[in-house]
Chain A
């Protein structure tokens, strides 16, 4: 059997094994390929938070669940750390059912690091079903939409919510999103209507569709996938999970590019002989 014929018959489980090894080995060995270079989009995200005056209030929307934790959690944590370091008050909401515990985790972690108090410096209002209706209603009244926080405390008793009625009091919307509902809906329902500045950290799958929003000025910054999270970690000088994963990511990408080339090479003899096996 020729090389190309055996290539065409390759059991896909060998490819599975190769991908698995290409991810495991760099992580285990600490093999480092190249440094992460922040992009202009990540810089836009960073600058939008940097120029907020201390004491401002932001809405941090963690619209993702454990399915995309590897991409969204590092950017969620880095953004929360950045906000808390700058003494920005955070109102966290989640529109994905799996989101509230992840938001709790980043808020508590960063809160402990920067000595920020729950209720005073940040609050997790939790999850609401309803997608765009929730966003639209927050524009009318955040306390009516979220009468209690995630653990049932009435918002009227939470200091950080004092004076916050709707988006008029919000200086920035930070959207960490995995899909629907998420960044697109926030842009449509909130940015377009209430002109709140917004930055977004999204999964790589959805990142390409937000470039038009970035170019039109509806987004000030954009983090795309784990690479975007790594760029942001570099900017806030706190390399974490995303930065650590970039070497494995690089090798896997090269492998996939090679697979595309090999796959096409393997069928070349077939095509040149008119499709005969």
Chain B
């Protein structure tokens, strides 16, 4: 029961969705549509599960005074306060002028954008400390990187008009060829793994503790 039912569910759902792609018969399409509408809802619940797990884990760490536990209090308070504000606003929670949209603009948006912008500094540092040209392959990589970095910005045209053209050619021909090869190889892998999961051959998710 513990192993068989999940296998049957994933097999049935997978086969319905696969067959529904090819068969427009209403009987098949109804099942095809319903299953996907259900999965949209179940995925929404996984976000709630994630939040609950986050609160549970951090709550435990606060209780046993783990490392950085005072910051975990801030995390829990921020999470609960955000939810409280959001639910109190109703369906217009994201309209201009609401408290929730204030939280979005001045907390969530600001911190999210800044976290990602940190990477600019590290890529500059890594370019100096880690980018070593020690082989023909690395040299090719470096030349391509140089042409792209300079050719795709306005200064490239100022350095030499051929630079942007070289960057375009590089992207449209050799880069395209390699990327297409990766795309097609990955597609074969995804299709093979997909069939394995649907047919129940790939069962890592169903194992104990998984």
Contacts and interface: CB of A to CB of B under 8 A. Distances in A.
- The answer to whether A and B interact is yes
Contact of A128 (B33, B40, B158, B183): B40
A52 interface: no
B155 A34 contact: yes
Interface in B174-189: 175-176, 179-180, 183
Contacts of B195: none
Max chain A CB contacts within 10 Å: which of B110, B121, B146, B154?
Answer: B154
Main secondary structure of the interface of A (DSSP, over half): helix
Given A16-B125, A260-B131, A212 B180 contact: yes
Given A137-B36, A227-B152, A215 B128 contact: no
Interface stretch (A77-85, A156-164, A261-269): A261-269
Interface string A161-174: 00000000000000
Contacts, number: 165
- Size range of the chain B interface in the assembly: 35 or more
A227 B47 CA distance: 34
Contact of A67 (B104, B113, B128, B158): B113
A259 B154 contact: no
Nearest to B123: A256
16 contacts: A12-B125, A15-B125, A15-B128, A16-B121, A16-B125, A66-B108, A98-B109, A100-B94, A129-B47, A133-B36, A140-B32, A215-B180, A224-B152, A247-B154, A259-B127, A262-B128
Interface of A: 10, 12, 15-16, 18-20, 23, 33-37, 39-40, 65-70, 97-98, 100-101, 104, 108, 128-131, 133-134, 136-137, 140-141, 144-145, 150-152, 193, 208-209, 211-212, 215, 224-225, 227, 246-247, 249-257, 259-260, 262-264, 267
Interface of B: 21, 29, 32-33, 36-37, 39-40, 43-44, 46-47, 91-92, 94-96, 101, 104-105, 108-110, 112-113, 115-117, 120-121, 123-125, 127-133, 142, 145-146, 149-150, 152-158, 164, 168, 171-172, 175-176, 179-180, 183
